[in-house]
């Protein structure tokens, strides 16, 4: 890695006190490491054209810098411009022939990052340039929005729905049934089939203790509703009366039944 050394600086400037040097020209040295310029706090004009510089982090210590030429280097990230924000006296900047200069919106983005510039790539910054820079988001903000979108998208893909049981609802249903001791004798409750002409508020039940099945509508406590008990009593009485009737009486009853059926 080509590194800028004290000897190279002294040879160029003929000055041994680095902190008093105001101008430095290191054109075409193919330098990659220039960290020594952090000691040269008095620099006002610097030329590092035609080198291999990838980062601007070493320039943040040069608060008196007014002119900076970095043509034909390897700067590829707009975020590197943040290191030049402390250089508020900087007025002229050259970044052409860097990878960054071929990106869309290059001129507006640089002006947005460094609004104190008066000239960029040897072209005066006009009012139209500043207006265009004010109408676009900085690259940093766009990258932040893009990263947030990716994170949200990944979180959505990794999201797994977990169905949680409501213990309150479960206890409300089963505890109500356990209040009656008849529940232990009734066993499992099954909903009445929809094809039966019976109110769906009642339930069939299965007596598991005895192992037999009883068909008929019952409430949630296992009791037969009062209206259903009345119908069963009426049917039993009618069946008893029919046994004692003769043929003519049965024909009369049958005729009345048909009339009733026609009226329904």
Q: Tell me the CATH number at 100.
A: 3.80.10.10
Q: Clarify whether residues 132 and 183 are in a common domain.
A: no
| Beta strands 45-47; 188-191: pairing state | unpaired
In a domain, residue 162? The reply is: no
Q: Which domain holds residue 71?
A: 6-148
In a domain, residue 157? The reply is: no
Q: Clarify whether residues 83 and 201 are in a common domain.
A: no
Q: By the 8 A CB rule, do 187 and 209 touch?
A: yes
- For the stretch 219-246, pLDDT in tens is 545 555 555 555 666 777 777 777 777 8
- Give the per-residue pLDDT at 225: 53
- Give the per-residue pLDDT at 8: 93
Q: What is the pTM assigned to this prediction?
A: 0.54
Q: Clarify whether residues 52 and 182 are in a common domain.
A: no
Q: How far is Cα 102 from Cα 227, in angstroms, rounded to an integer?
A: 89
| CB neighbours of residue 17 within 10 Å | 11
- Residue stretches of the chain with pLDDT short of 50: 180-215, 220
- Give the per-residue pLDDT at 43: 96
Q: Clarify whether residues 248 and 126 are in a common domain.
A: no
In the chain, where does DSSP find H-type helix? 6-13, 106-113, 127-134, 139-158, 167-178, 182-186, 226-243, 247-263
The count of domains in the chain is: 2
Q: Clarify whether residues 138 and 47 are in a common domain.
A: yes
In a domain, residue 113? The reply is: yes
Q: Clarify whether residues 80 and 125 are in a common domain.
A: yes
Q: Clarify whether residues 137 and 200 are in a common domain.
A: no
Q: By the 8 A CB rule, do 64 and 85 touch?
A: no
Q: Clarify whether residues 48 and 101 are in a common domain.
A: yes
Q: Clarify whether residues 123 and 13 are in a common domain.
A: yes
In a domain, residue 41? The reply is: yes
**Among residues 17, 83, 94, 5, which one has the least CA distance to residue 48?**
94
Q: Clarify whether residues 116 and 189 are in a common domain.
A: no
Q: Clarify whether residues 129 and 30 are in a common domain.
A: yes
- Neighbouring residues of 54: CB distance < 8 A, sequence distance ≥ 6: 32, 73, 74, 75, 76
240 φψ region: left (φ > 0), alpha (ψ -120 to 50), beta (else):
alpha
Strand partners, 23: 45
In a domain, residue 237? The reply is: yes
Q: Clarify whether residues 233 and 110 are in a common domain.
A: no
In a domain, residue 153? The reply is: no
Q: By the 8 A CB rule, do 87 and 59 touch?
A: yes
Q: How far is Cα 58 from Cα 87, in angstroms, rounded to an integer?
A: 11
In a domain, residue 166? The reply is: no
- For the stretch 187-200, pLDDT in tens is 444 444 444 444 44
Strand partners, 262: none
């Amino acid at each position: 890695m080509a590194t800028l050394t004290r000897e190279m600086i002294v040879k160029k400037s003929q000055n041994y006190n680095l902190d008093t040097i105001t101008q430095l020209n290191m054109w075409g040295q193919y330098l990659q490491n220039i960290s020594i310029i952090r000691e040269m706090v008095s620099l006002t004009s610097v030329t590092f054209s035609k080198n291999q510089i990838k980062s601007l982090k070493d320039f943040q210590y040069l608060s008196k810098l007014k002119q900076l030429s970095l043509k034909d280097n390897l700067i590829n990230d707009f975020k590197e411009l943040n290191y030049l924000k402390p250089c508020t006296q900087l007025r002229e900047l050259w970044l052409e022939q860097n990878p960054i200069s071929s990106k869309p919106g290059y001129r507006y983005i640089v002006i947005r990052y460094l609004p104190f510039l008066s000239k960029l790539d040897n072209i005066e910054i006009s009012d139209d340039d500043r207006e265009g820079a004010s109408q676009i988001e900085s690259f940093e903000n766009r990258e932040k929005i893009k990263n947030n979108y990716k994170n949200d998208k990944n979180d959505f893909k990794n999201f797994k729905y977990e169905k949680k049981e409501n213990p309150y609802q479960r206890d409300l249903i089963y505890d109500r049934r356990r209040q009656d001791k008849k529940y232990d004798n009734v066993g499992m409750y099954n909903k009445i089939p929809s094809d039966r002409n019976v109110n769906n508020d009642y339930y069939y039940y299965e007596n598991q203790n005895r192992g037999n099945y009883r068909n008929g509508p019952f409430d949630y406590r296992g009791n037969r509703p009062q209206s259903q008990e009345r119908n069963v009593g009426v049917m039993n009485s009618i069946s008893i009366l029919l046994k004692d009737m003769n043929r003519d009486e049965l024909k009369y009853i049958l005729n009345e039944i048909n009339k009733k059926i026609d009226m329904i």
